[in-house]
Structure 1
Amino acid sequence: MSSTYCFLIQFILNFVGSTAADTVENNLFHGKRSDIPAPYLPTECMLEIFKHVQAQDSGLYSCLLVNRYWCKNIVPLLWSRPFEALSTENRYKLIHTYLACLDREDYLNLSSSLQSYNIKIPEIRQPLFNYSMYLEEFSYKQLEIAVHSTIHIWCNKTFINNHKQDQILLIATTLCKLFMRRSISLKSFIIDKYFSHSDIPQISTFIEQPGLSHLTRFKIDYCKPMTTNTIKLLENLPYLCSNIRCLDIKFPIFEHNHKSISRIISTQKCLNEFNLSGVRIGSERILFSLQSRHETLNIIRLENVYITEACFNALALCENLKDLSLWYCRGLNIENTSVLLKSKFSLKKLRLGFSPICSDVAGLILQVGGISLKELEIDLINSIIVEIILDCCPNVKEIKLANYFPHDNNYLFYQLFFGLSLENLEIFINSKNLDYEDMKLTGQDLPPSLKYLKLSCGFTIDQFKELFKTCNAPLETIIIDYVDLNYDHIKVITKFIREKKTVKTLGIVGMDDMTSQGIKELKMLKKRYGIFIIPSYELNQW
């Protein structure tokens, strides 16, 4: 039983007395419902408690059995993002449940249409809840996958291959209509594709009310030319919703669709975050439209995008910008980038990815970051870059080095880390890079101000030993994330924790596959030294 779940049981014990709570706890263990009243906290308080249990694998499912009040509060949480991380069997159960939520007319129409493919929907009993109304996050790709799995089971895992995509689109269209009509809480909609050559449902499906009217996040992620119905949806989206806060666009060729994206941007009253990735054509018009939302935009992230001077002029007008990312964008030069020097925003977070030949551009943008900058991610380090960071961005407390190896010039890291009084450091190197043996980073390079260290990269065991043996930083949080971690690495961390006595939190990616020796070592750290071991499902939040 999870620690959070135990806390809830203890909370009941303290709140309603031991007799009633003993009955509740007994019911939880034996799968029975309780007729004894449990604490009737306000719904808002209950939801806050349940949110802490939600990330765990089965915590909320157990809480369903306490009583009707708890069940009523938990069902909306369980069904807000139902498509995530499902097995084939659970995908089938999910689609089966949603089909049971259909109106009789829609159910009969779908059954009739599927008969032409010799598919018969099993008899479905009406569910206790109208589960479709609780949907908050919806990915079309996940729906396609779930429907695909369902048809496989219906057809005993044999498909009429010539009509597979037609069958999936038919069922997906019916369920999309259900979601548009019933989902009063739909906040996030992601258009991505599992079957790249099929289309999404027709636009008439998405104009149902309440439909997309409450969207706060919209994402489109395509690697192929957009389909006809996708283009029509983009053209109509400005008329269907106006309160999108996060707009995330990833598409290699916009062709004539940049007009639709620009229109979406200009009609969203509260647009706070804009992400654009992979656009080769039409990026200037899209980025130019950002000036229409210059008062609300706080976050702009651009990756593999062609940028012109007009684009930078638009960025410079966003006076409330706090988070800027320019990751391997094209068209950058000193002339067009210098426009940002006229900007009035005060950046808190900056992410820069450049080739070595663009170090002068990187240096100029770092000057834009200035004294307000607190977090920096960068993949380019040389003496000029280090000097600019120390001179222009002296208040940076958090650095992430991305795909950059500390080699023979590791003196630059000592100069940078100590010059900034750094508190948080993350080193990320893609697992495809195999020359870890050349990495030179010792504990002496880490400043005495460092409290958080995350290593998302590979180290030989000798490098790992040297790093922690020579480290004098009062680390409070250590997170290790790479594939070749073994028990020897765990022993090195244990020795550091035992000797330094500063570490409070430890996270290890891949704990589910750890040996019994490693698990025993972590339990010892928790018991003897009070170390909080970050659960696997929480690691991405640290």
Structure 2
Amino acid sequence: MSATLPELCIRFVLEELSNDTRSKHTCILINRHWCMASIHEIWKHPLYYCQELEQKDRYIQFIDTYIKCLSPQIRESLGLESNTKTTFDYTTFSQWICPNGLRSCVKLWLDEKIKQEPDKYSNLLKTENKTIFMIGKALCEHLIINSKKLIGVQLNQNEINIFELPQAEKVLSKVTHFITRFSCEPSRIGKLPNVLSLATEISKNIQVLNITCFNVEKENDISIRKLSQLIRNQKRLKEFTLTYWNPGFMNLWTSVLQQYNTLTTIILETIIFNESNPFLLHELGIFKNLQVLTIENCKNFIFSIKKIDISNSFRKLKKFTVVMSQPFPRYFIMVILQQSNENLRKVEVIDMDIKEDVLPYCIKNFTRLLNFSCSINIENFNLLLSLLKVSPNLETLYINELEDYLIEEDEDLILFDFLCSLGENFPKSLYYFTFDLDWEFNNDSFSKFLKICKEKGINFKTLIFAQSGFFNDLYLYELLKFYGDRKLDELVLHDMNNFSKECLKEVKKQVGIVKFAKGYPEKFNLSINFEEDN
């Protein structure tokens, strides 16, 4: 029956397996019907799946397949074998073009070919960088011409300028996702400014823009000016993410402010704003359609309700996240909660003590939360329990520990049953629980907690105990009693070395995905810098 499911049903199955790359690969083997649907899914962003598996061989296999998709004439002109071909032209399924990622994979592939067949490929060694560049460029050109569903571009420094390739204007004018990650160091910036110049003229329908930048030294850096122009040129920018910015932010932000009618998501991460010219939080009030706001590990803010009318601001906000160990205007958080409480479904206030404001307000006013994250200690633990009691629809809970808070010896008794107290107050709707504290509990307490949750009908999908370094085989076998037999989609633990091979084998058999915060065998990370040929 499952072998002949309608394509829409298969698509739903593959969506459920979105975090399980290995299971997706297994779907290819069911029959031709499943194979075609799975191939579309896996090859829409193959670099992403290779990254998930973190295996060097996967990158080499992927690029070998892509190279075989090139025409025999192109391969022959590049000095490559031209008598092999693939079952499909896999590039037609691709939704992303990542020039630097392709180029890095080509280098891995070529190095491996030279090592395995030196007589055949050693002639390419003398001009290796040029060969890598030419193969990478040929692949990019093939993708642009043949991909039927291209939606995204990912750019780094030292790029192949994909915007000057044949048919680039026609195809890349339609991309809706644009990611760029680069360093502004003169020795590393490469051709990116030239690439961005063409991008500003061609790509004007970007809806999702993600910028990560390092080492900005000048306020008027040329790459920042190009990015500012790129932002201004967009017709319907919806999501904007900025990470690791220093000088030049205000030039960029001025362009972002011009998108006040269309932006629905703003994410600012790891930015040290200028101390003499801090970030004006009240300017966020002009984005009337804002639905998602995240401010994480940034520094230097000002907030004033006198500077702008915010009576109609933040009304549509559904997700609000602040992760902040630095001083932050708490009044801004309360204004957000007050303005948006009818629609807000996700609240995350992490690394801040919220026992006197955020928690009491949420307990009193929020009964429809789906996702809540906070930092706790013994003093606000009971407030968290109170929030759980009034959140019957809560699906996701994340808790970590306030920094610099030490548990006193006389608090040990209080802590003894804290895990069971959580279980007793969990709503039945809870699916995802992250316990990111190093508070220790014994196996009996863990067993009681699991029993309470199971008897309440809580069907966990993800459990994360990444800080619980005291876990051993006994804890995992106890977990399998209640949530084994493939009930859990994902389990995250502290250290792989804490468990026996037999135990891990059994857990991996009964749980969808098992991850560890440490103790993994060394994984392969695709990160290759290129020196240009003279």
Q: Does 1:476 align with 2:455?
A: no
Match of 2:361 among 369, 389, 400: 389
Match of 1:488 among 445, 462, 474: 474
Amino acid at match of 2:319: K
Amino acid at match of 1:469: K
Residue in structure 1 matched with residue 381 of structure 2 by the alignment: 410
Deviations along 1:285-306, whole A, 9 cap, x unmatched? 3223234333332211111233
Over 3 Å counting, the alpha-carbon distance change for 1:373 and 1:182 in structure 2 is same
Normalization by structure 2: what TM-score?
A: 0.73
Q: Which moved more, 1:245-254 or 1:204-213?
A: 204-213
Partner of 2:179, secondary structure, is strand
In the TM superposition, what is the alpha-carbon distance from 1:507 to its structure 2 partner?
A: 3.9
What is the rounded CA distance, in whole Å, between the counterparts of 1:51 and 1:387 in structure 2?
35
In the TM superposition, what is the alpha-carbon distance from 1:348 to its structure 2 partner?
A: 1.2
Residue in structure 2 matched with residue 317 of structure 1 by the alignment: 286
Match of 1:444 among 411, 421, 439: 421
What is the rounded CA distance, in whole Å, between the counterparts of 1:337 and 1:324 in structure 2?
21
Decide whether the 8 Å contact of 1:443 with 1:468 is kept in 2. no
Over 3 Å counting, the alpha-carbon distance change for 1:173 and 1:495 in structure 2 is closer
Superposition CA RMSD, Å:
4.4
What is the rounded CA distance, in whole Å, between the counterparts of 1:220 and 1:337 in structure 2?
36
Decide whether the 8 Å contact of 2:27 with 2:35 is kept in 1. no
Residue in structure 2 matched with residue 215 of structure 1 by the alignment: 175
Decide whether the 8 Å contact of 2:400 with 2:436 is kept in 1. yes
Amino acid at match of 1:457: D
Over 3 Å counting, the alpha-carbon distance change for 1:433 and 1:228 in structure 2 is farther
Over 3 Å counting, the alpha-carbon distance change for 1:59 and 1:458 in structure 2 is same
What is the rounded CA distance, in whole Å, between the counterparts of 1:179 and 1:436 in structure 2?
57
What is the rounded CA distance, in whole Å, between the counterparts of 1:109 and 1:436 in structure 2?
69
Partner of 2:62, secondary structure, is helix
Decide whether the 8 Å contact of 1:88 with 1:146 is kept in 2. no
In the TM superposition, what is the alpha-carbon distance from 1:78 to its structure 2 partner?
A: 3.8
Decide whether the 8 Å contact of 1:184 with 1:210 is kept in 2. no
Q: Which moved more, 1:450-459 or 1:513-522?
A: 513-522
Q: Does 1:205 align with 2:147?
A: no
Decide whether the 8 Å contact of 2:359 with 2:384 is kept in 1. no
How many residues of Structure 1 are paired with residues of Structure 2 in the alignment? Answer: 474
Q: Which residues of 2 match residues 140-289 of structure 1 at below 5 A?
A: 140-156=99-115, 164-192=128-156, 198-201=158-161, 203-205=163-165, 208=168, 210-223=170-183, 225=185, 227-252=189-214, 253=216, 255-289=221-255
Residue in structure 1 matched with residue 527 of structure 2 by the alignment: none
Match of 1:81 among 18, 21, 45: 45
Q: Which moved more, 1:335-344 or 1:93-102?
A: 335-344
In the TM superposition, what is the alpha-carbon distance from 1:327 to its structure 2 partner?
A: 1.1
Normalization by structure 1: what TM-score?
A: 0.72
Q: Which residues of 2 match residues 344-423 of structure 1 at below 5 A?
A: 344-355=314-325, 357-358=327-328, 360-361=330-331, 362-379=333-350, 380-386=352-358, 389-390=361-362, 393-395=365-367, 397-401=369-373, 404=375, 406-407=377-378, 409-418=380-389, 423=394
Residue in structure 2 matched with residue 31 of structure 1 by the alignment: none
Residue in structure 2 matched with residue 94 of structure 1 by the alignment: 62
Over 3 Å counting, the alpha-carbon distance change for 1:303 and 1:166 in structure 2 is same
What is the rounded CA distance, in whole Å, between the counterparts of 2:293 and 2:303 in structure 1?
18
More helix by share: 1
Deviations along 1:464-486, whole A, 9 cap, x unmatched? 64466368663613333245443
What is the rounded CA distance, in whole Å, between the counterparts of 2:11 and 2:296 in structure 1?
38
Decide whether the 8 Å contact of 1:265 with 1:289 is kept in 2. yes
Over 3 Å counting, the alpha-carbon distance change for 1:537 and 1:267 in structure 2 is farther
Decide whether the 8 Å contact of 1:390 with 1:420 is kept in 2. no
Deviations along 1:133-152, whole A, 9 cap, x unmatched? 22112334432332122111
What is the rounded CA distance, in whole Å, between the counterparts of 2:184 and 2:198 in structure 1?
21
Amino acid at match of 1:332: F
Amino acid at match of 2:90: Y
Decide whether the 8 Å contact of 1:278 with 1:304 is kept in 2. yes
Partner of 2:357, secondary structure, is helix
In the TM superposition, what is the alpha-carbon distance from 1:521 to its structure 2 partner?
A: 7.6
Q: Does 1:328 align with 2:297?
A: yes
In the TM superposition, what is the alpha-carbon distance from 1:446 to its structure 2 partner?
A: 5.7
What is the rounded CA distance, in whole Å, between the counterparts of 1:62 and 1:506 in structure 2?
17
Deviations along 1:77-128, whole A, 9 cap, x unmatched? 34322232264444333333322333455334322xxxxxxxxx23432434
Decide whether the 8 Å contact of 2:314 with 2:336 is kept in 1. no
Deviations along 1:46-79, whole A, 9 cap, x unmatched? 6556666775526556646745x66555543343
In the TM superposition, what is the alpha-carbon distance from 1:375 to its structure 2 partner?
A: 1.0
Partner of 2:304, secondary structure, is helix
Match of 2:77 among 103, 109, 122: 109
What is the rounded CA distance, in whole Å, between the counterparts of 1:50 and 1:415 in structure 2?
38
Give percent identity, aligned residues only: 16
What is the rounded CA distance, in whole Å, between the counterparts of 1:456 and 1:346 in structure 2?
30
Amino acid at match of 1:98: Y
What is the rounded CA distance, in whole Å, between the counterparts of 2:183 and 2:399 in structure 1?
26
Q: Does 1:134 align with 2:116?
A: no
Over 3 Å counting, the alpha-carbon distance change for 1:81 and 1:407 in structure 2 is same
Q: Does 1:303 align with 2:269?
A: yes
Decide whether the 8 Å contact of 1:350 with 1:376 is kept in 2. yes
Match of 2:397 among 398, 412, 426: 426
Query: Any gaps of 5 or more consecutive residues in structure 1?
Result: 1-6, 13-40, 112-120, 524-532
Partner of 1:324, secondary structure, is strand
Q: Does 1:8 align with 2:2?
A: yes
Over 3 Å counting, the alpha-carbon distance change for 1:126 and 1:321 in structure 2 is same
What is the rounded CA distance, in whole Å, between the counterparts of 2:306 and 2:364 in structure 1?
17
Over 3 Å counting, the alpha-carbon distance change for 1:337 and 1:105 in structure 2 is farther
Amino acid at match of 2:77: N
In the TM superposition, what is the alpha-carbon distance from 1:347 to its structure 2 partner?
A: 1.3
Partner of 1:122, secondary structure, is coil
Amino acid at match of 1:322: Q
Amino acid at match of 1:354: M
What is the rounded CA distance, in whole Å, between the counterparts of 2:307 and 2:395 in structure 1?
30
What is the rounded CA distance, in whole Å, between the counterparts of 2:472 and 2:348 in structure 1?
28
Partner of 1:289, secondary structure, is helix
